[in-house]
Amino acid sequence: MRALVQRVTEASVEVEGRPIGRIGPGLLVLACAMRGDDEAMAQKLAVRVARLRIFGDEAGRMNRSLIDMGGGALVVSQFTLAADTRSGNRPGFSAAAAPHDGRRLLDCFVDGLRGEGVAVETGQFGAEMKLRLLNDGPATIWLDSADRA
C-alpha cells in the first residue's frame, strides 16, 4: 500500500456538499492499495503511520507520533497514488488494486490505525470528494509498504 501523509492542524472531507469526516490536529492520510497488496501490508502501513514521529516535541524537534500527541487521522482513498507517469502525458493506473480489493484493504488499514488507538475519520470509497486541510509545517511524507521498482 501507498500513503501520502500530511501533518495538519485540521482537515475535513465532504461528498456532494455534505461533510462526512473532520479532524483537528493530526494526519490527513491519502491511501492507495496496489495490486498484490494484502492485509499484512495494510496492517504494517497502519502501524508505520500511527508511530511516524513527525510532530514536534518540547524542543520543536520531530520526535512525537500521532499516538504520542493524541491526534486524529482522516483517511481518504486515493487510487491516483498508483499513477504511472513514466511515459506519455496521461498517467496509467493499472498498478492500483481492483476496487473490491482496494476497499477491503483500505478498511483493513483503517482498522489497523484504530487498533493502535488512533481516532479515525474517513472519506467515502469511490466517491468524488472535496478535501479541506490546513497543512502544518508543511510536513508531507510518502510511505510505501513494499519496495517497488
CATH code, domain with 9: 3.50.80.10
Q: Is residue 27 part of a domain?
A: yes
Taking Cα atoms as reference points, which of 32, 31, 30, 11 lies closest to residue 21? 11
Going by pLDDT thresholds of 50, 70 and 90, the confidence category of residue 147 is: low
Task: Indicate whether 64 pLDDT > 50.
Answer: yes
Q: Is the pLDDT of residue 25 over 90?
A: yes
Percent of the chain with pLDDT over 90: 94
Residue type at position 111: D
Average pLDDT, the chain: 95
Active site residues: 78-80
Give the residue-averaged pLDDT of 107-132: 97
Q: Is residue 96 situated within a structural domain?
A: yes
Q: Does any domain span residue 13?
A: yes
Dist. CA 93–CA 139, nearest whole Å: 26
pTM of the model: 0.94
Give the model's pLDDT for residue 149.
44
| Residue 54 pLDDT greater than 70, yes or no | yes
Domain coverage including residue 54:
2-144
Question: Looking at the 3D structure of the chain, how many domains does it have?
Answer: 1
93 CB-near residues (< 8 Å, 6+ apart)? 79, 80, 82, 83, 84
Averaged pLDDT for residues 98-115: 97
149 domain residue, yes or no: no
Q: In Å, how far from its chain's centre is CA 53? A: 15
Under 8 Å CB-to-CB from 60, ≥6 apart: which residues? none
pLDDT of residue 122: 98
- Mean pLDDT over 12-34 rounds to 97
